Amino acid sequence: TFDLERKLERERGRVGEDDLAIGEACLKLGNLYCQQDRLSEAEEKYLEALRIFVAVQGERSENAPCVQMNLGLIYDNQGRVDDALRMKKRGLRGYRRMYGDGHLKVAMALSNVGICLGKKGQLERAMAKFEEAHAMYVGLYGEDHETVAMVLGHRANVLNDQGKFAEALAMHEKALAIRRRTLGSDHDDIASSLLNLGSGYDNLGMAEEALSRFEEGLGIMRRIHPEKTVMEGRFLDGIGSVCLEQGRLEEALSWYQEAHRMYRKTLGPDCAEARAMSDKAAAVLRMQSKVEDT
């Protein structure tokens, strides 16, 4: 990035501030900073690129929607949901103007807007965006495609937030079936579906179904990313919770302790997830003490 910054400054001196070449260089740098998780620096470059593209090409700039969506994702990661929604809506409008409905970029933008609306609690509006994206993905790729499974997962999350738990589970199961057919057996997205399903079944008190999904997901993570991702900790946590609900206190304690270790390893020793596991383990120990006292 240092060499690219120097090259950018040389280009500024050669062609001036408001030149498409400068905008494109800023966009490239912004992408690199995003990959390095340097979000503030990425935002700065994206904003400069957007200013140049609009100044040179006008509001209907072909480059602007991409930058707007990237800025929306940055704001999302920073917890700036209102800013993210505003920028993603601008990107969606730009893509609609450029491509019309039925284009992949429009479908992706719809999904991104839907995610923001869901975070703001605007569930009906979020569902409408996901349903529109779903129809576009099916039109583009047919029913059996990862993008279709992805948006089904988003729709299931909205149903869950609306309290429609059985409908949410059915939709998560449909997404999982698509992913099994299209991605094979061991894949991060299959594990993600299994985690959602395990949590859903657990919330409905269906312990055996929950345990089956959590254990399968844990096996996938240990095969493809052993000891490397927070997802492994979440599966361990889920199994511990099911064991606790079944009164298997010793097993629950062991799973919680393993989840605690995994959260510390993947998220850092002071993460909220590790503290939550410490609290859960302490609660189990108190329960064991009461059982022994009786």
What is the rounded CA–CA span in Å between residue 47 and residue 26?
9
Alpha carbon 270 to its chain centroid, in Å, reads: 22
What is the rounded CA–CA span in Å between residue 280 and residue 242?
13
Specify the DSSP class assigned to residue 100. -
| Domains 1-118 and 169-177+186-294 belong to one CATH topology | yes
Q: Are 148 and 138 in contact (CB under 8 A)?
A: yes
Provide φ and ψ at 143, rounded to 5°: -70, -35
pLDDT at 223: 96
pLDDT at 9: 77
Closest CA to 109 of 67, 145, 155, 141: 67
Mean residue pLDDT of the chain comes to 93
3-29 pLDDT tens trace: 777 877 777 777 777 888 899 999 999
Which numeric CATH code is attached to 1-118? 1.25.40.10
Residue 195 pLDDT exceeds 80: yes
pLDDT at 210: 97
Least confident of 8-22, 70-84, 266-280: 8-22
pLDDT at 185: 87
Residue 234 pLDDT exceeds 80: yes
pTM of the model: 0.84
**pLDDT tier, 183 (very low <50, low <70, confident <90, very high otherwise):** very high
23-70 pLDDT tens trace: 999 999 999 999 998 999 999 999 999 999 999 998 788 899 999 999
Would you identify the CATH topology of the domain 169-177+186-294? 1.25.40
Domain segments of the chain as ranges: 1-118, 169-177+186-294
Which percentage of the chain shows pLDDT scores above 70? 99
Residue 294 pLDDT exceeds 70: no
